[in-house]
Amino acid sequence: MNAIKAQINHMEVEVQEGTTILDAAKKVGFTIPTLCHHADLKPQGSCGICVVEVEGFPAMKRACMTEMVNGWKIHTNSARVRAVRKTLLELILSNHEMDCPICIKNNACELQRLAATLGMTTLKYPQNFQKKKIDNTSVAIVRNPNKCILCGRCVQVCTEIQTVNALALSMRGFNTVITDAFDAGLGNSVCVNCGQCIVYCPVGALYEKSCVDKVWEVINDPGKHVVVQEAPAVRATLGEEFGMEPGSLVSGKMHATLRRMRFDAVFDTNFAADLTILEEGTEIVDRVKNGGKLPVITSCSPGWIKFMETFYPHLSEYVSTAKSPQQMFGALSKTYYSEIKGIPPEKIVSVSVMPCTAKKFECNRPEMNSSRYQDVDYVLTTREIARMMKEAGIDLKEMPDEPADDPMGEYSGAATIFGVTGGVMEAALRSAYFLITGKELEDLDILPVRGMEGVKEAEIDVNGLKLKVAVAHGLGNARKILDKVSTQLKNEGKSEYHIIEIMACPGGCVGGGGQPWGSNMARRARRGETLLKEDKSLPYRRSHENPSIKAIYEKYLEQPNSKKAHHLLHTHYYKRSKVDGKVILDT
Amino acid sequence: MSAKNHCNCARVDEEDLYPKLEEMIAQHKGKPTELIMALHKAQNLFGYLPKKAQELISERLNVPISTVCGVISFYSFFSTVPKGRHTVKVCLGTACYVRGGQQTLKKVEKELNTKVGSTTEDRRYSVDIVRCIGACGLAPAVLVDKDVYGRVKSTKLMDILGKYE
């Protein structure tokens, strides 16, 4: 690699060939403002905010996508550059609905921040936009085109990272919109509700469909018994909403806050994650030992499940029938818990706090009513519960650490790592080892399945039995492994893999579509490490050791994969249309 | 044949065209980069791009349906509403505009009871605008199919349109 020598704002700079002006400027202490640029995505240069002057070139260049050239003299903050940036921003603002104080993105909006950075105090151009219809068709995601600045990040993440292709640019010129096929609405599209578009949207054009009001209503209803569960990944991110460092672990503070918000029982999804391992692990062991269908593919991620039903329905019989922890918990809250507490199930409202927008879709799936009621009534994202906590005037940071309630609050370390890519695999292997050999796995840290690499593979020796496993996170990465498996199954009748873990979101649930604003790959990794740390700190690190899990099987479910367990804790899948995502036929 | 009968015929015919479409786009199978060519063929075949044809092309070429819709909406040549047997294009280029093209267009819309970008119910006419057809000396100009009419006064309009069954 050659070194490039150039000047930025009269400062000498030397960088590697291929470095963009944006990165080179940072090296000598100049931050070039950006809007459409995102560290995780390929630069598109759609907004033009990062323009700079290069001596000898009449036209300005976009710093995010222009590579440095030897001898260039670059100016990143000249009067002309600053004026052009302001004009560009004014034009964007003239076509943007500016109701900032009541916008979902208020205080977290990149456009708002940019206006401040550029020192905007007045607007030359009047507001000039035609109000477009808000897309409310999805149960999970709302799209407000009036806020959209057409940066294209959502399209990029939907096509390149997730390969779902629900969103595309449509029309042209002033009429350009980002929309789905036939403009039918996300609820009538192949959208898998992963919410990564929300994560990458710089403004308030994409957000979750909120059920904050409904949850307040049931909390305040004395006739309702409201139980709450929180997903593993929420405890590694919720602190960010209260100004804590990314990666702060707040399990205890979260339980304490929820209790003070007057939820009637504060449980933990981690309990159900342990249960998932027992159910899924038993299924894995059965299929490995008795010549069942292999590989077993995990089923916890509802974005992945809809993706599979739409694009890989031929693999549906390989996917574990175990429900996700959220849905297992929901079914048990209105059966097991209802029975031991003597509270009629119709009085119980089951609320979950999830890092995920697809969970909203999952809880509304018509088959998710094993308790004869909708098993999970309301799903709140991490962002939504943070808003409620703030509304209640409780500062999470200041809360003491409190445990979750019995009998569905105790959890093992294996459960808490469900929230990070590789975690379900690791948890499953810890218990599968025991179920296969009758002995405990000594070294519990299964390092090859950890980390942020898109596809991870490992061979695990279980007392002489070699288990080939693969882990993929982000649906584009999932495709890589699924295409390979599909080819192997087609050509050889079997696959080299025994177990495959798939999470729809990059990084796993710590990078979910419902997580605090500002996710990027680096932050996802930090959040993931937090969960791995909590795992190490817990008294039990294997799901089958969790005393509450032992108790529920003794008292209620008999044993993993029993008839009762099957009824409450397992599900089935459908085939979906690649046009509108609707169910085609029962597989 | 009365206009009404023709309309019904067209609907029945459309279903029959799909085997033909399959045949025409067979060479583009699995080739996403040839999307526009396939759409072009389908539009020529149907006169527009029915939803079902879009879905078929999406499936056969392995292009996401959202992309197919996006591309169609970008190019003004593509239409997702049925085209009439005849296309009436009113020129709104600068010369035609200043010589009353806008009034001509209004008259066309009124007489045919339809809007720009749409088709009459009997599928006899589609109405569109063009930006200069190089007949500025004849402004305001109207194009019906491939015939150019110059100095179209609103009185002359219905005589012209009447020629096209």
| pLDDT band at B12; cut points 50, 70, 90 | low
Q: Which residue of A has its CA nearest to B52?
A: A579
For β-strands A3-8 and A73-75, DSSP reports them as parallel
Q: How many CB atoms neighbour CB B71 within 10 A?
A: 18
Q: What is the rounded CA–CA span in Å between residue A19 and residue A40? A: 16
CB A495 within 8 A of CB A467: no
Q: Which helix (H) or strand (E) holds B88?
A: strand B86-91
Same fold, A3-93 and A130-208: no
Fold of A212-586: Rossmann fold (3.40.50)
First to last CA, chain B: 10
Q: Given this model, what pLDDT does residue B2 score?
A: 42
Residue A306 contacts residue A581 (beta carbons within 8 Å): yes
Domain boundaries, chain A: 3-93, 130-208, 212-586
* CA distance linking residue B31 with residue B22, whole number of Å: 14
Q: Output the CATH code of domain A130-208.
A: 3.30.70.20
Residue with tokens 């709302």: A142
Phi, psi (5° rounding) for residue B16?
A: -70, -15
**Reported CATH class of domain B86-162:** alpha beta
**Topology (CATH level 3) of domain A3-93:** Ubiquitin-like (UB roll) (3.10.20)
Alpha carbons within 13 angstroms on the beta-carbon side of residue B131 total 1
Which residues on chain A are in Cβ contact (under 8 Å) with B69? Answer: 168, 170, 181-183
| B14: pLDDT strictly greater than 90 | no
Residues of chain A short of pLDDT 50, as ranges, are: 587
Two structure tokens written together for B123:
């599928």
At residue B9 the predicted structure's pLDDT band, cuts being 50, 70 and 90, is very low
Residue-level pLDDT at A585: 76
The strand pair at B125-130 and B86-91 is best described as parallel
Q: Which residue has the tokens 């490992």?
A: A458
- Each residue's pLDDT tens digit, B108-130: 999 999 998 889 988 899 998 99
Minimal Cβ distance to B66: which of A167, A171, A172: A167
- Cα separation, A391 vs A387, whole angstroms: 6
**Best B65, B71, B75 residue to mutate vs chain A (most A CBs within 10 Å):** B65
Give pTM, 2 decimals: 0.93
- CA B59, B65, B68, B69: dihedral to nearest 10 degrees? 140
Nearest to B70 among A169, A189, A579 (CB): A169
Single-letter amino acid code for the residue at B96: C
A169 in contact with B, Cβ within 8 Å: yes
For A207-245, the DSSP string reads: EE---HHHHHHHHT-TT-EEEEEE-GGGGGTGGGGGTPP
Residues of B in contact with A169 (CB under 8 A): 70, 74
Interface residue B90 vs chain A (CB under 8 A): no
Q: State residue B118's pLDDT score.
A: 87
A182: which 2 tokens?
């036939």
DSSP state of A508: S
With an 8 Å Cβ cutoff, is A69 touching chain B?
no
Per-residue model confidence as pLDDT tens digits over B125-147: 999 899 888 899 999 999 999 89
Residues of A in contact with B55 (CB under 8 A): 579
Report which of residues A67 and B7 the model is more confident about.
Answer: A67
Give pLDDT tens digits for B34-61.
999 999 999 999 989 999 999 999 999 9
